[in-house]
Amino acid sequence: MAILPIIVAPDPRLKLVSRPVDKVDAAVARLMDDMLETMYAAPGIGLAAPQVSVPMRVIVVDIARKDKGEEPISLKMANPQLIATSEEVKSWDEGCLSLPEHYAEVVRPSRATVRYLDENNKRREVEADGVLAVCLQHEMDHLDGIIFVDHVSMLKRNMILRKLRKAKKLGTLAAE
Ligand code: NI
């Protein structure tokens, strides 16, 4: 396994629409493992392939609180698809490994059903609520070139992106 460099916004590679995976073969499974290792090292609870410069529809998620002694429950997904969402919405203070140290309230459906291919190329479905529902929707957004600040006001988005641009220029990013 390997830890991959994570792209920090603003970056045109985070705006690409990623391509579907034909089949989860050994190379895709290895990418999933590398992404999971990268995510745990960061640390984070979700990561999408475009964040590590791979424009493919692959995400990994693990919402277990290891700081509270919870066992890891990793999800590795190719071609995740939102097949149902609740009408009920919830606001969550979201963050992202590509926007280190910045957070904003984002409103999303509070429950979501996601269909995907697992690391063995098996078709699966997960019904999520709470932080898992938020995280899955956030990671799937990345596959369509959307980051969480695209869901907030232009004022707030520009402020965050301006600070990140400045931090990148100065080399003071915590993630680096
Ligand atoms: Ni993110």
Encode pLDDT of 115-144 as tens digits: 999 999 999 999 999 999 999 999 999 999
- Tell me, yes or no, if the pTM score tops 0.85: yes
Segment 97-107 shows an average pLDDT of 97
Q: Which value, to the nearest 10 degrees, does the dihedral of the CA atoms of residues 52, 159, 102, 17 take?
A: -30
What's the whole-number average pLDDT of the chain? 95
Nearest to 97 by CA among 56, 137, 147: 147
Q: What is the pLDDT of residue 174?
A: 58
Q: How far is the CA of 91 from the centre of ligand 1 (A)?
A: 16
CA of 71 from ligand 1 middle (Å) equals 22
How sure is the predictor about 24, in pLDDT bands with cuts at 50, 70 and 90?
A: very high
Q: Taking the mean position of all CA atoms in its chain, how far away is CA 107?
A: 16
100 CA from centroid of ligand 1 (Å)? 10
* Average pLDDT rounded to a whole number, residues 11-39: 98
**pLDDT beyond 60 at 175:** no
Look up the CATH superfamily of 12-170.
Peptide deformylase (3.90.45.10)
Per the residue annotation, which of 70, 125, 139, 176 is the catalytic one? 139
State yes or no: is 139 an active-site residue: yes
C-alpha span between 66 and 44 (Å, rounded): 11
Nearest to 49 by CA among 73, 72, 82, 27: 27
Question: If you measure from the C-alpha of residue 147 to the centroid of ligand 1, how many angstroms do you get, rounded to a whole number?
Answer: 6
> pLDDT category, 176, cuts 50, 70, 90?
very low
Bond from prior residue into 10 cis (ω within 30 degrees of 0)? yes
Ligand 1 centroid to Cα of residue 128, in Å, is 18
